[in-house]
Amino acid sequence: MSQVFNQTTLLFLLNGMKLTLIIALVSIALSMFFGTILAVLRNFSNGILGKIATIYIEIFRNTPLLLWILAIRFLVPIPPMYSGILSFTLFTSAVMAEILRGGMNSVSKGQYEAAYSQGFSKFQTLKYIILPQSFRSCIPTFLSQGVTVIKDTSFLWAVGIEEFTGKGMILMGSFASSYQVFLLFGTIAATYFVINFAISCSVRTIKTAY
């Protein structure tokens, strides 16, 4: 009976966690950027761009993430990690856009009027007045979405991207006793839990601070 935890297996898992975090963090950063553009377009452009943003958001909000993970992996010829980042960015941008739109809609109309009366252009009003406030009020929701992204990176195992879940499942294949398998399941779940629970707790702290 081999040991479940030794230097090799731990390093193996750690590598998976590294990939999980890289994909999650890069995707979150990119999605916040593209999400902001989408939100602004949907809220402030009456033309074709606004329509495109709306259609984009609705499509991605109403189809499963796994569909995009599979479709991107099979249809776009890029290395696995980039394929993961691309699918998460496409999907999460729509989510981030809707979160930010909620924040933007809660900024009172008077602020726009005040800014315009001071001679701010539409773009300046957004950049200096509306967006900073919206971002601040959205921080807790963005963080919760971060938890969701970290959890959902485990879907990437469906296309063989060896992130944390993938590494865990590969490792599990080399053990046969129920004790070892349950120990490994417990470890994987606990690792996700520690990371996400820490974020969830900080969300709660920030919310009460507001």
Partner 1 sequence: MNSPFAWFKWQAVFRDYNIFFEGFLTTLEVAVLGLALSLILGVVFGVLSTSKLKIFKIISRIYVEIIQNTPLVIQIFFLFNGLPYIKVILPVFLIGVLGVGFYHGAYIAEVVRTGITSTPKGQFEAAKSQGFSYTQTMRYIILPQTIKIIIPPLTNQLVNLIKNTSVLAMIAGGDLMYRTDSWSSSNMYYGPAYAISGLLYFIMCYPLARFARKLELKEKKEKTTVSETSMEGLSVATEGGL
Q: Are 149 and 96 in contact (CB under 8 A)?
A: no
Q: Does 38 bind partner 1 (CB under 8 A)?
A: no
For residue 156, the SS3 value is helix
| Nearest-approach distance from CB 124 to partner 1, in angstroms | 28
Q: Candidates 80-88, 107-115, 129-137, 152-160: pick the segment binding partner 1 (CB under 8 A).
A: 152-160
Q: Candidates 2-10, 39-47, 58-66, 126-134: pick the segment binding partner 1 (CB under 8 A).
A: 58-66
Selection from 62, 85, 76, 50 nearest residue 161 by Cα: 85
Two structure tokens written together for 195 = 């990371």
Please compute, for residue 160, the number of CA atoms within 13 A of its CA located in the half-sphere on the CB side.
4
| Nearest-approach distance from CB 13 to partner 1, in angstroms | 13
∠16-17-18 over CA atoms, to 5°? 90
> Which of residues 6, 185, 202, 205 is near partner 1 by CB under 8 A?
185
Q: Does 15 bind partner 1 (CB under 8 A)?
A: no
Two structure tokens written together for 41 = 């377009």
Written as one letter, the residue type at 162 is: E
Torsion of the alpha carbons at 131, 136, 140 and 144, rounded to the nearest 10: 30
Q: Does 1 bind partner 1 (CB under 8 A)?
A: no
Q: Does 147 bind partner 1 (CB under 8 A)?
A: yes
Q: Which of residues 110-139 bind partner 1 (CB under 8 A)?
A: none
Nearer to partner 1, 116 or 179 (CB): 179
Binding site for partner 1 (CB under 8 A): 58-59, 61-67, 70-71, 74-75, 147, 151-155, 157-158, 165, 169, 172, 177-178, 181-182, 185, 188-189, 192-193, 196-197, 200
